[in-house]
Every structure is written in structure tokens, then in C-alpha cells.
Amino acid sequence: MSSQSNSADDHLTEVPERHRETADAVIPEHTSLYIGGEFIDSDSGETFTTTDPTTNQKLASVARGTEADVNRAVEAAWDAFDTEWSGYDSGDRQRVLLEIADTIDAHTEELAQLETLDNGKPITEATIDIRSSAEQFRYFAGIVRENSGETMTDDTRYGQVITEPYGVVGQIIPWNFPLMMASWKLAPALAAGNCTVLKPAEQTPLSALRLAELIDDIVPDGVVNVVTGFGDEAGEPLTRHPDVRKVAFTGSTAVGKQVMKNAAENVTDITLELGGKSPIVIFPDVDVAKATQLISAAIFYNTGECCEAGSRLFVHEDVADGLLGALVDGIDAMTIGDPLLEETDLGPKVSTEQVDRTLEYLDAAREAGGEFLVGGDRPDDAALSDGCYVEPTLIEGLDHDHVAVQEEIFGPVLEVFRWDDYETMMELANDVDYGLAGGVITDDITQANRAARDIQAGYIWINSYHDLAPGLPFGGHKQSGIGRELSADTLDHYQQTKTINLSLR
């Protein structure tokens, strides 16, 4: 592996100092719970540490919320709904959402740096995330007034169908896109008229807490509550709470199944955006240079820590050698290093736990006879030894039923399969439990349309990847989830339908 890294001297001396100085500037003033418009300590008084994955140094001590804190947050949310927020009409909510969007935009640089410190993603990608977060609030502000209901009349009755908010919803977000996932949840929930209790991932709670600081004067007290903590101590009570009328969760399929079981206890409505093992199908007519760029972005963006990452590559035999050679060359030219520097292409994974998990899959692939075209380990570079780094990796020769192919690695690992028969290839492309996304690269519109329809997934890109446009529903088939994000469908998920049937006789 010959990928470039920022110099060893820079990492060993300048990088820790750069991260400390940046942390001093952007770590939120409040790292306690945000409940009822106030920052308060957890009921137990306990805290946990969030760590910078680039340096493995402490960033902050954060309140460790438990069931008692979830109960307080739910009570505060209902109080806000009953006394104030339910009286906000669509125009009022629209103004709130637009003000939140403007506030996020005004703090883009700060929030991007905070995300990079807490998550490890390159600053260029973090900046894109923050801008996308603001765009979510703008999108839902734009459609909130369109939700006017329906009417139906005949000779005997007048029927009206209206939508109402649930009241209080529970929302749990993952660590890979912390603020962006918060926006995916908060924007539609507020647009629909709900109050919320948000539980960020314990690995990356800081941007949600900073957002709470920023919107404290925008949103009435108790409308948004943030309970930090661990899944079993704060997430579980939130998904089981009898007064939470809807639960929205983004994360792994395994945890999503447990969320679904918990919500079933109270017949609580749910939406789930879960894992993926997405295929990218390459036809023989592709431009190799363009295809290489798209594939690299599909798997290595955010260090592969994307639920929709294109992690299985199906490349036609006619272009396989040239394309794989170009991919290896591109990987060798990547800069792995300090994510606060704009020239860095690949930052660290979020935690040592995630590094170990990825390496376990790579060891299993190696034992099964997988051919590592590039990567396969931690970088052999002293400059990166303190951080949570894994080499970008390309593997060929695995059986498609191997665990590394079937399960979501959630890292910079791409498995390669050559094909010459379309039907056989498509059978393998669909031979996983997941169905979140997929990619097709070809200049033939007929082939593109056929493959897009044949791939069993909820979101298909043709000649692009990771391009998520507000208004286009995002969500999965099979075990990749229930419901849709980013669209008017999402607003529907945060409302319940009421029918009023008036007799005219």
C-alpha cells in the first residue's frame, strides 16, 4: 500500500496541536442534556468521554443520560406540545425551520470542524454535510404549507381527510453523519408539528448539542430535547416509552430489529433507515476514468462509513483489468491523514472499535483466499499510528456467500466480482439481505434502465453516486428499512391521518 499521508513530523507534532486548538475553539460550551430549553446534568450525574479519532485524545465529557432523563425529556416535550407548539400553524413552523437553516449556514465552518473532530471525516466532506443539513430545513419549510388534506362529497355525506402530528416523537441517529442525520430527523418532525426527543450516537454527540445551543432562542422550550448517552441506557427507554407516539431510527439492521421489537410493546409507529451492502454494476461501454472516479467516491466517501456505500463491484470482463488497474492507481494516489486539512482524501474511522471490526472482516477474507489488490490492513505509517485509520482496500476472489460480502463492513472495503452474463450477475447483485441502494454505470440508457429496475433496492444512481437531492425519497427494500427520508413521504411519516365523515341526510 503506497497511499500518501501527510508527513510524519506533521502528524506527530502539528496535528495534535492543530486538533487541540480547533477543539478549544469549537467544542460546545454545554455538553450536558438539553431538556425543556435548559442544559442540565443527567439524573445520575455521570458523564462519558467523546474522543477525537485522529489523535485518540479526549474531546469532552458528555452527560450520560438514562431512563430517568428520557422520562424528563418526554414530559418536557409533551408540555411544550400541549401548551405552545400545537398552536403553531404551518406558517409559524415554516419561519422556524427557515431560521434554523439560516443559523446552520451562518455557523458552517464551526460545525464542520466540530464534525471532523468528533467523527474523523475530512473537512471538505464535513462542510458538504453541514450545507446539506441546512438544506433539509429549507426543503421541509418549503413543503410544510402544501399539506392541506383532502375532501370528498356525495349526495349523503361530506368527507374530510386531515393529518395531525403525533405529538412527541423519539429519534435516534447514528455516528457517521451526525448533524446531517439530525437534520433528516428534526426537520420533518418539526414541519409536521411534533416535538421531539433526539438521542445522538454516543461516539458523536457534540454537533447535536451545539445545534441545541444555536436554536435555543429559535424553538420554544421543550420542542427539541437532546438526551446523550448509550443505546441500552437512553436509546432503549426512548423506544419503549409509552408516551412516545412515533420512533425514527437510523443505524444498523441488527439494532433496528430491536428498535422494532421495543416499539411493538406500545404499538408505536416506526420508520427505520438501516444498513446496506449496495452493488455497483459496470457495463463494458463505460469510460474507465469516469467510472473509476464514481466507484472510488461510492465506497471511500466518509471512509466507507455510509449505509448506502457501493461496497460490491460487479464489473464486466471486457473492462475489468483496465478499470481495476485504474482503481488501484487511484487508491495509491489518495492522501490519508489529518482530516482537518483540505488535501486529505481519507480520514480515520470513528473509533478503535470500528477499526477492529473492519480488520476482523479483512482477516476473514484473507483466510478465505481473497486476493487483496490493494490495502487490507492499518497503514504502515508512524504518522497515522495514533489514529483510527484503515487502508482503502480492494478484494477479489471471494465467494459471494462469504461473510465479508454478505455483511455490512462499514469501512473502506470494496469486493470485486467480474461478470459476462447479465442474468447471473444480477442474481448475485440481489443475493444479500439488504436493499438500500445501488449504482449503474453505462452510457446505454436501455441497459441503465433495465439494471436500475432489476436491482432490488430503494434508491438507484445512474452515472453518479451519493447524490441525495431533497424531494427524492431515500430508503430501502428488504432488511434496509421501513419508510423514506428526504421527501414529502417523510412528512407523511410524522403525521397520522384522521377522517371526518359528516352525514348530509
H helix and E strand count, the chain: 17, 24
The reply to whether 273 belongs to the active site is yes
Residue 446's contacts (CB-CB under 8 Å, 6 or more residues apart) are none
Q: How would you class 262 by CB atoms within 10 Å of its CB: exposed for 0-12, middle for 13-18, buried for 19 or more?
A: buried
pLDDT at 473 over 60: yes
Amino acid identity for residue 248 in this structure: A
Which residue, among 454, 476, 457, 125, has the nearest Cα to 273 in the 3D structure? 476
Mean pLDDT of the chain: 96
Per-residue pLDDT, 150: 81
pLDDT tens by residue, 152-167: 888 898 999 999 999 9
| Cell numbers linked to 313 | 463491484
Per-residue pLDDT, 382: 86
Query: pTM, whole model, 2 decimals?
Result: 0.95
Which residue, among 209, 244, 256, has the nearest Cα to 229 in the 3D structure? 209
Report d(CA 291, CA 296) in Å as an integer: 8
Report d(CA 383, CA 79) in Å as an integer: 52
Q: For every residue of 390-418, which 3-state class applies, written as one string? A: CCCEEEECCCCCCHHHHCCCCCCEEEEEE
Per-residue pLDDT, 1: 45
Per-residue pLDDT, 192: 97
- In order of their start, the domains of the chain are 9-274+482-498 (3.40.605.10), 278-470 (3.40.309.10)
Report d(CA 262, CA 337) in Å as an integer: 41
pLDDT tens by residue, 2-61: 445 555 555 567 999 999 999 999 999 999 999 999 999 999 999 999 999 999 999 999
The reply to whether 485 belongs to the active site is no
pLDDT tens by residue, 131-147: 999 999 999 999 998 86
Contact call for residues 192 and 98 (beta carbons, < 8 A):
no
pLDDT tens by residue, 115-130: 999 999 999 999 999 9
Residue 157's contacts (CB-CB under 8 Å, 6 or more residues apart) are 501, 502, 503, 504
Per-residue pLDDT, 2: 42
Which is the catalytic residue, given 125, 135, 202, 273? 273
> Phi, psi at residue 45, to the nearest 5°?
80, 0
Q: How would you class 215 by CB atoms within 10 Å of its CB: exposed for 0-12, middle for 13-18, buried for 19 or more?
A: buried
Report d(CA 223, CA 173) in Å as an integer: 18
CA 261 to each of CA 83, 232, 239, 329, 404: distance values in angstroms, whole numbers, following the listed order: 32, 14, 9, 46, 27
pLDDT at 302 over 60: yes
| Average pLDDT value for residue range 242-252 | 98
Per-residue pLDDT, 383: 83
> Phi, psi at residue 197, to the nearest 5°?
-115, 115
Which is the catalytic residue, given 306, 307, 415, 485? 307
